[in-house]
Structure 1
């Protein structure tokens, strides 16, 4: 009996820890019109070698994490504010970091994430974030943009910080989550299937963006 109680407590603790470790979900709404910068704005070209997106996925038994490469894009900046821009994401570069590269599980998970079960990389090789605005809210700088993933586009608002070092601009987001069901990523999702039991995968995907851009 004591062993049973201990096991239940351990499971509950793991669940609570997993929930508390997740970042806040980004405010999500219907797609909006892309922002257009004034001609006086300064153009920056994203450095693909210095930009990346960190990801984390959650399930009852634990988490997986990794990176996705940024394959291009540009930003227009005026008075320290991003006025317009596009970030293109190469979905074919999904990497798994929590499983050693030489282990079979690494390639297996990467292949599954790339398959039609998840992001269907063959059909949708890129994702895209298009800036729709930038604002201040509750002491934070919020960047709004249309995120296109697979065949769906939604507007998200994410907390970011920016800095300038000569002709280089750095944009870094706080960790945030998106609800993958809103982008039709259905595998193992309780939003689409009722008979999963404990074999579900959380709808939350945690992301953190780091972008460097050089003055054009």
Structure 2
């Protein structure tokens, strides 16, 4: 499987305070499209105002719902975590050095329809206290109120809302989903290379997000300390979820 540099969200996610010396790692990486959070397929808060209309709607929807339930029953799940996958990031100053980091602990899953030749959805939950970086002092900054406030926001989550074939950004698919980070949920879209074999489902991606959209700033956006840090953070995903016998072996 192609590895983009170990995720390697989102998933994420992140930013860094750096020391002088390296080029900006975000310069030539695709920026994720960010918008308002989207409803997850199959979930709706809409209710008919009239009881008769509601009954009629329920009757007309019965067949599609039954079909959906049958499809879900036949669906396959392929799980992944920090033992077989990675969620990494690179943050940098506007001029100067960069830092590598990521998350050690997370759990996720792909859902495949019957036949297992595509992916219906992907989701991941990240333990924010498992964040690491190449500098211990920086790791402390990332965990405390300077940035991610992991005691207040112990988990981050990504749940896909759409997965479509798309080669325009160099991958095989465009993945859209809701990324909850630092207590804020936004819809993000990013390119990914997805591969499905009898042994595993893999997903590789490299893109960048604007950390400030999730309220991740050093002090405030007007703070001189924050102004020297690049708002854009590179996210690198390398996901490998075993299937079938491979998954059973990994679980033992």
TM range (shorter): 0.7 to 0.9
Query: What secondary structure is seen at the aligned counterpart in 2 of 1:49?
Result: coil
What's the CA shift for 1:197?
Answer: 8.0
**Counterparts of 2:91 and 2:27, CA distance in 1:** 12
What's the CA shift for 1:125?
Answer: 1.5
What is the CA RMSD across the aligned residues, in angstroms?
2.5
Number of residue equivalences: 190
What's the CA shift for 1:46?
Answer: 1.6
Aligned to 2:208: 177
**Counterparts of 1:20 and 1:74, CA distance in 2:** 28
The superposition leaves residues 58-109 of structure 1 with CA deviations (integer Å, 9 ceiling, x where unpaired) of 1122211122134212211135332123111121122213xxxxxxxx2211
Aligned to 2:107: 72
Q: TM-score if structure 1 supplies the norm length?
A: 0.78
Stretches of structure 2 lacking an aligned partner (at least 5 in a row): 1-20, 43-67, 248-252
Instruction: Please tell me whether residue 114 in structure 1 is matched to residue 143 in structure 2.
Output: yes
Stretches of structure 1 lacking an aligned partner (at least 5 in a row): 1-13, 98-105
Aligned to 1:11: none
Which structure has more relative contact order (CA 8 Å, sep 6+)? It is 2
Shift in alpha-carbon separation, 1:212–1:35, aligned structure 2, 3 A = farther
Whichever structure has more strand as a proportion of its residues is 1
Alignment counterpart, residue 183 of structure 2, candidates 151, 158, 164: 151
**Counterparts of 2:233 and 2:165, CA distance in 1:** 24
**Counterparts of 1:46 and 1:89, CA distance in 2:** 12
Q: TM-score if structure 2 supplies the norm length?
A: 0.67
Task: Point out the structure with max Rg over C-alpha.
Answer: 2
Aligned to 2:153: 124
Moved over 3 A (4+): 19-22, 35-38, 137-140
